[in-house]
């Protein structure tokens, strides 16, 4: 059975360590989660692009999405793009559980595999804040931007650090996971864990059959009905529907570790900006506390982060602009897969950064 | 492990046999499928309501939906309703594979379980036509009506027997399965078969873990995002989201046999009215050949039989009326679960029958 690429217990992701620009790992030591559990010997993986300017005013934080490594989401970064390394110092922190930062797959016992504690979006942002403030010496952030689970972390950054975050651009994600989105995630979780080879998370070999099932269920949600109707997977180089299900979806998740996928899934299911300290459990209060200039975007045909849900949340943020990405690519409109949607998002980010 | 209610190898569904009204079974003998395979010793289960009138002009055919038995879909039947047994002779034929008609769960070897041959919607309608024409002596049908997979069979009735079918009312279903719908079904199939207890269909005990996963994936598709947002499952008597996932979805499918579910799933995935003999593989030609007065309905928020797909197909049927059921109940708008949607459908059927 194939090993997932992120199952190595000891990750070495680059030659540059600590807080130097480039790929790096930031040691957080023993990190107390909001739940009260302590994750011991935590490291946060990250990658930076560009350089911090003299007055430290050009930092952009761009957290990772579900199942992604920092290298998977670089499409909006580059010369001439909104996230231009010539102008901005872009920090891409890897989510806890993604296989590069501390994760079920790389933690030593006793917190390895199924014993990895549950981590929230808020925990992630607390860890990222330490990287940014202590590690990189940044006290002002020009922009926090993220897609999907990256959007969840973006909302959290703005609510947790209103004095620090100047702009946010969360897209195709919500500040609180909706009930329907929760059910979609229940489905992919049940599909993965239906495989007895999962062994309640204590497998040695990946439960590949369960991961394939997980991927096949995900496929229906990730793109929209018209995407499939128009066979747009052919634009991505796939020769047939089955080729797409195997070559895009199964391949995407077979690279990953099952416990890592389940860890991030729990984080997603339990995402709730209302749990921000001082917000009394109120989503509306948390969104209302945001002071950053906000551009909130939704994919027109996104099946789980729906435009309706995102529009409502945007309406709770003072002065926020809500914009719909006109696309039939569903949730994947925000994943840099097609030039039209990518240009739309790039233009939007450029406008926000110029403001 | 609990036995599914339709795993008995020898079904006895009622005291009335043959072609008498009531619950019955119609023997088809050795039935040659369109694929060329022969299904040996086939019986078609059915139930009738009301009586055939003197000139045999009041027959209504109402085929079953996915996973349903004839007793599960009786909500539109009753005094004062559109399908009034005082006025109409309503025949509800059970789909092949549903556990009452010949199915993987009740066929003797060598066509038992995983060895049950693949059956199409057209095969079903050929079998049903023999029941109706030979068994019941009916040559004229006032209405064929069906929800979901029942709609698939409705389209097929109209295309295969244009001289016989006066009216059709397919709702929340398509004449050809779309690519996205196919992917949704791939997901639930992969979830079920990820359970090693499935044993490639040769299990003795039901693969309950796989069936639960199947059900949990289905849950996200069966209702709409706003249904979950508004917690409308409470109207169905469920106390929480988890209670709904277990009490509605898992319960619904744990009653069923895994091979039966997979058999009907194959039928659904491969549904294509264009395969009607004489139509050159053309969906449009098959729909264009329909002579029945057609009222085609779609659920406004149906996630897999989308209004867009159904509208297109309706536009190919000469003189067809297309109507949207204004509902946030998703695909389940057509399943008789809430009085508003049920009344909408009932009124529509009454109008069609009066025409």
Position B7 scores a pLDDT of: 39
pTM of structure: 0.93
Over residues B192-239, the pLDDT tens digits come to 999 999 999 999 999 999 999 999 999 999 999 999 999 999 999 999
**pLDDT > 90 in chain B, percent:** 93
Position A21 scores a pLDDT of: 56
Q: Is B75's pLDDT higher than 90?
A: yes
Taking contacts as CB-CB distances below 8 angstroms, the residues of chain B near A189 are: 216
Residues 259..318 of A with a Cβ closer than 8 Å to B: which? Answer: 303-304, 306, 308-309
> What's the whole-number mean pLDDT along residues B253-262?
98
CA pair distance B98, B100, nearest whole angstrom: 6
Mean pLDDT for all residues in chain B: 94
> What's the whole-number mean pLDDT along residues B110-131?
98
Give the E-state strand segments of chain B in sequence order: 23-32, 38-49, 59-61, 89-93, 143-147, 167-171, 293-299, 321-325
B331 counts as catalytic: yes
Model confidence band, residue B21 (pLDDT cutoffs 50, 70, 90): low
**pLDDT > 70 in chain B, percent:** 94
How does DSSP assign A224-243, residue by residue?
A: -HHHHHTTGGGGGT-SSHHH
Position A227 scores a pLDDT of: 98
CA pair distance B125, B131, nearest whole angstrom: 10
| Gap from B226 CA to chain A (nearest CA, Å) | 8
Position B19 scores a pLDDT of: 47
A331 counts as catalytic: yes
How many C-beta atoms surround the C-beta of residue A29 within 10 A? Answer: 11
For residue B128, whether the previous peptide bond is cis, meaning omega lies within 30 degrees of 0, is no
Would the CB atoms of B194 and A179 count as touching at under 8 Å? no
Tell me if B121 sits within 8 A of B286, measured CB to CB.
no
Position A11 scores a pLDDT of: 32
Residues in chain A: 355
Position B2 scores a pLDDT of: 38
CA pair distance A202, A223, nearest whole angstrom: 32
Residue A318 tokens read as: 């003072």
Pick from B179, B189, B213: which is nearest to A229 by CB?
Answer: B179
A302 counts as catalytic: yes
Model confidence band, residue B22 (pLDDT cutoffs 50, 70, 90): confident
Phi-psi region at B62: left, alpha or beta (left = phi > 0; alpha = psi -120 to 50): beta
ipTM: 0.91
Position B12 scores a pLDDT of: 34
Would the CB atoms of A219 and B183 count as touching at under 8 Å? yes
Strands lying side by side in the sheet with A89-93: A23-32, A38-49, A89-93, A59-61, A143-147, A167-171, A293-299, A321-325
Pick from B184, B192, B210: which is nearest to A220 by CB?
Answer: B184
Q: Is B174's pLDDT higher than 60?
A: yes
Residue in the structure block whose two tokens are 């039939």: A328
Over residues A156-200, the pLDDT tens digits come to 999 999 999 999 999 999 999 999 999 999 999 999 999 999 999
Averaged pLDDT, groups of 10, chain A, 355 residues long:
40 37 90 96 97 96 98 97 97 98 97 97 98 96 98 98 98 98 98 97 97 98 98 98 98 98 98 97 98 98 98 98 98 97 98 96
Higher pLDDT, B328 or B5: B328
């Amino acid at each position: 059975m194939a090993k997932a690429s992120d199952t190595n217990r000891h990750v070495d992701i680059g030659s540059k360590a600590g807080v130097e620009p480039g790929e790096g790992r930031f040691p957080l030591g023993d990190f107390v989660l909001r739940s009260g559990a302590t994750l011991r010997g935590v490291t946060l993986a990250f990658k930076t692009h560009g350089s911090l300017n003299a007055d430290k005013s050009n930092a952009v934080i761009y957290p990772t999405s579900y199942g992604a490594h920092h290298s998977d989401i670089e499409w909006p970064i580059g010369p001439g793009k909104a996230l231009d390394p010539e102008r901005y110092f872009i920090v891409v922190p890897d989510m806890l559980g993604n296989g590069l930062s501390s994760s079920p797959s790389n933690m030593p016992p006793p917190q390895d595999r199924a014993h990895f504690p549950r981590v929230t979006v808020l925990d992630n942002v607390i860890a990222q804040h330490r990287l940014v403030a202590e590690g990189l010496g940044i006290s002002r952030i020009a922009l926090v931007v993220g897609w999907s689970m990256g959007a969840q972390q973006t909302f959290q950054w703005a609510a947790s650090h209103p004095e620090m975050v100047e702009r946010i651009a969360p897209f195709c994600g919500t500040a609180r996971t909706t009930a329907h989105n929760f059910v979609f995630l229940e489905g992919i979780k049940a599909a993965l864990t239906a495989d007895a080879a999962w062994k309640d998370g204590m497998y040695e070999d990946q439960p590949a059959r369960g991961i394939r099932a997980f991927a096949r269920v995900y496929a229906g949600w990730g793109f929209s009905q018209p995407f499939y109707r128009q066979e747009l997977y052919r634009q991505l180089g796939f020769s047939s529907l089955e080729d797409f299900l195997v070559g895009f979806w199964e391949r995407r998740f077979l690279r990953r570790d099952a416990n890592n996928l389940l860890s991030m899934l729990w984080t997603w299911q339990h995402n709730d900006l209302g749990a921000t300290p001082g917000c009394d459990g109120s989503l509306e209060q948390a969104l209302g506390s945001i002071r950053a200039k906000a551009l909130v975007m939704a994919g027109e045909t996104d099946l789980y982060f729906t435009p309706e849900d995102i529009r409502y949340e945007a309406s709770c943020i003072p002065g926020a602009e809500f914009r719909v990405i006109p696309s039939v690519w569903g949730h994947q409109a925000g994943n840099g897969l097609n030039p039209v949607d990518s240009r739309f998002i790039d233009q939007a980010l450029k406008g926000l950064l110029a403001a």
